[in-house]
């Protein structure tokens, strides 16, 4: 692979997508520094390359404790999203799929539809943004049931995603809601195969009928599940640095994306929660190139995957794919 400077320049040239991004988990640190300059003067310790979260629960608590300091109104979502999207645009990202957590709606009693609108209003020129409502596996409570039932009527909402602890049982309401959302012309995703094993991936594919699995890396543990992903033409929206820092995988050079990609599974590369991991999309591509042996042509294919699967206007897709084809054609044979 190229030297680091050349590789970074090459990655910058690639038009890219970000299809697995939690808006709360992308909270710009500068906003907390502006709010509480004494408390957040120094960069957080969890940005260190060698930092590892001991448990998912620890990661989740740290993230929530920080996110609720900022995400209290739709206006604050708009302000944060504008900074997040400009940072992605500077990395040549053209298309973004981001989710917001319905728990914020419940906790602060604010309008989820207003949050979706605020996020979309923050999209800069030249970037398409899609917004998903994320919910937990046990979120269909008496208080949240009316909100979740009404998601199909949110005109600006692009879809739903299943968040949180994967090892919790998949409750019966979930399949019904996911089906209704698709019938309403919206997209469906689910987190699986991160802390849950390969069976967890099979479950969301077969029972929720999703074709966009967030993470999904532990599918590699069962060849039959890998075959299933091939059969249904599923996409794995993978976040390698997140997987390492959460100890889903022992190290980057042993990340199963190499095996999954080589097997022909469509994989995209994303950041997940940049606030929690101190990562950028460029960092993710660099990790593939420097630690997993991805060639420049393979990085082009990773970028292409995002444009092939994302729900964007045809003109945006075609333009990006033509750019990638031109870059590919210029590569040594």
Average pLDDT, the chain: 96
Q: What is the CATH number of the domain that holds 318?
A: 3.20.20.140
Number of domains in the chain: 1
Residue 208 resides in a domain: yes
pTM reported for the whole predicted model:
0.96
pLDDT classification of 72: cutoffs 50, 70, 90 = very high
Catalytic residue positions, numbered = 194
pLDDT at position 1 over 80? no
Residue 333 resides in a domain: no
pLDDT at position 333 over 80? no
Residue 199 resides in a domain: yes
Residue 316 resides in a domain: yes
Token pair 């999954």 is at which residue? 260
Give 90-125 pLDDT, tens digit per residue.
999 999 999 999 999 999 999 999 999 999 999 999
Residue 83 resides in a domain: yes
Sheet bearing 212-215, strands edge to edge: 190-192, 212-215, 235-238, 266-269
The reported pLDDT for the residue numbered 5 is 87
Residue 323 resides in a domain: yes
Residue 88 resides in a domain: yes
Give 208-244 pLDDT, tens digit per residue.
999 999 999 999 999 999 999 999 999 999 999 999 9
Question: Can you read off the two tokens belonging to residue 140?
Answer: 């269909």
Neighbours of 231 (CB within 10 A): 9
Residue 245: half-sphere exposure toward Cβ, Cα within 13 Å: 24
Residue 148 resides in a domain: yes
Give 166-184 pLDDT, tens digit per residue.
989 999 999 999 999 999 9
Domain extent at residue 8: 4-327
């Amino acid at each position: 692979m190229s030297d680091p400077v050349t590789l970074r320049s090459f990655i910058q040239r690639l038009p890219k997508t970000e299809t697995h991004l939690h808006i709360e988990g992308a909270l710009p640190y500068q906003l907390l520094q502006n709010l509480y300059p004494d408390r957040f003067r120094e960069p957080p310790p969890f940005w260190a390359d060698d930092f590892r979260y001991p448990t998912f629960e620890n990661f989740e608590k740290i993230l929530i404790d920080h996110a609720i300091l900022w995400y209290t109104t739709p206006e604050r979502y708009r302000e944060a999203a504008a900074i997040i999207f400009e940072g992605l645009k500077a990395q040549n990202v053209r298309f973004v799929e981001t989710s917001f957590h319905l728990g914020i709606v419940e906790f602060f009693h604010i309008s989820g539809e207003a949050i979706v609108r605020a996020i979309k209003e923050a999209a800069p020129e030249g970037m398409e943004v899609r917004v998903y409502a994320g919910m937990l596996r046990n979120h269909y409570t008496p208080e949240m049931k009316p909100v979740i039932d009404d998601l199909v009527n949110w005109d600006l909402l692009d879809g739903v995603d299943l968040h949180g602890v994967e090892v919790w049982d998949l409750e019966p309401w979930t399949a019904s809601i996911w089906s209704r959302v698709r019938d309403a012309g919206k997209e469906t995703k689910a987190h699986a195969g991160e802390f849950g094993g390969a069976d967890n991936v099979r479950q969301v594919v077969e029972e929720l009928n999703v074709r966009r699995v967030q993470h999904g890396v532990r599918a590699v543990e069962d060849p039959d599940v890998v075959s299933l992903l091939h059969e249904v033409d599923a996409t794995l929206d993978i976040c390698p640095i997140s997987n390492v820092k959460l100890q889903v995988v022992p190290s980057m050079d042993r990340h199963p994306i190499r095996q999954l990609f080589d097997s022909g599974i469509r994989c995209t590369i994303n950041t997940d929660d940049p606030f929690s991991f101190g990562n950028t999309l460029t960092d993710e591509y660099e990790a593939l190139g420097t630690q997993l042996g991805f060639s420049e042509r393979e990085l082009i294919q990773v970028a292409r995957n995002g444009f092939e699967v994302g729900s964007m206007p045809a003109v945006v897709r075609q333009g990006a794919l033509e750019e990638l084809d031109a870059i590919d054609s210029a590569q040594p044979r």
